[in-house]
Amino acid sequence: MRYPRLLPLLLLLGVLLPAHAQARAHHVRHLIVVLDPGHGGGDPNEKYVGAVDASGTLVEAHLTFLVATRAAKDLRSMGYTVFLTRKSVNLQANYPLRDLNRDGTIDQLDDYDARTLFANRHHADVFVSIHFDGAAGDPSMHGTHGYYCPNRPFWKKSKRLASILTASVSKSLTASGYASPNNGIGTDVADRVPQRFADYPWFFVLGPSWKKRITGTAMPGALIESLYLSSPRDVTALRRPATIPALARGYAQGIRAYFGGKTTR
């Protein structure tokens, strides 16, 4: 009488054990990188293209997409899983247009929200927002600098990420034949551009959640200003075919260095 009663249990164990072993194997997963190419098209009434050079031909939204696409390729060949917040060079992240933050309007806040929600939904281990800067009054400003948000639980990791990335990007540019300085990092609060809301002094893609405005990312992140589109020397460099691949390599190698060379967890 005892064996027939044990039989279903043994059968059950036979089914469960391999499944459990399988589940353990799946726990070793590739690290997930979300790259966020800054700006983008979409609503023609909104100026989402970001900085533009003096000739009007180098557009931040396009350059960020080119760099991100190339960096994604580099990172995938290293063994990372990579997702981009934008699907096309001409589209913003919030596409099709949705009122993601449920504040009753569809505006640029929803576009920022699309980027952070995307990173959370894809369980990213790291979030990297790729930008180019423009300093209207000062064409002598050039080189790479980065930002992190000090008001997050993982701010130390974000700070380290920003620091590694600015160093890696400027090093890669220099290796490609364009001697470009690493201008270091700062907090997003310290950015010279006036913030949209006085009571939210952070970058929307880096800062904490704020009801009906933005959902903060659940992982460390940094925003990097790759080069200045207002700098004649940076713009000249960007017209060389080697520069976009060098920027992309700088991001990819920097992200790998942030993970200490590891590609899985």
**Which residues lie near Zn ion (CB under 5 A)?**
38, 50, 131
Closer CB to Zn ion, 51 or 219, in the complex: 51
What lies within 8 Å, CB to CB, of 120 at 6+ separation is 215, 217, 218, 219
Strand order in the sheet with 182-187: 81-84, 32-37, 126-133, 221-228, 144-148, 182-187
Rounded to a whole number of angstroms, the minimum distance from the CB of residue 134 to Zn ion is 8
Rounded to a whole number of angstroms, the minimum distance from the CB of residue 83 to Zn ion is 20
Inter-axis angle of helices 60-78 and 243-258, nearest 10: 50
Rounded to a whole number of angstroms, the minimum distance from the CB of residue 244 to Zn ion is 16
Q: Tell me the backbone φ, ψ of residue 167, rounded to 5 degrees.
A: -65, -45
**Rounded CA separation 43/45 (Å):** 5
Rounded to a whole number of angstroms, the minimum distance from the CB of residue 20 to Zn ion is 47
Closer CB to Zn ion, 203 or 258, in the complex: 203
Closer CB to Zn ion, 50 or 146, in the complex: 50
Closer CB to Zn ion, 81 or 116, in the complex: 116
Closer CB to Zn ion, 31 or 58, in the complex: 58
Six-digit token string for 160 = 């380290």
Closer CB to Zn ion, 50 or 143, in the complex: 50
Contact by Cβ (8 Å): 169, 247: yes
- The CB-nearest residue to Zn ion is 131
Rounded to a whole number of angstroms, the minimum distance from the CB of residue 68 to Zn ion is 13
Residue type, 25: A
CA-to-CA dists, residue 53 to 56, 57, 91, 235, angstroms = 5, 7, 20, 7
Burial of 189 (0-12, 13-18, 19+ CB in 10 A): middle
Rounded to a whole number of angstroms, the minimum distance from the CB of residue 133 to Zn ion is 7
Contact by Cβ (8 Å): 103, 212: yes
User: To which residue do tokens 């700006």 refer?
Assistant: 39
Rounded to a whole number of angstroms, the minimum distance from the CB of residue 130 to Zn ion is 9
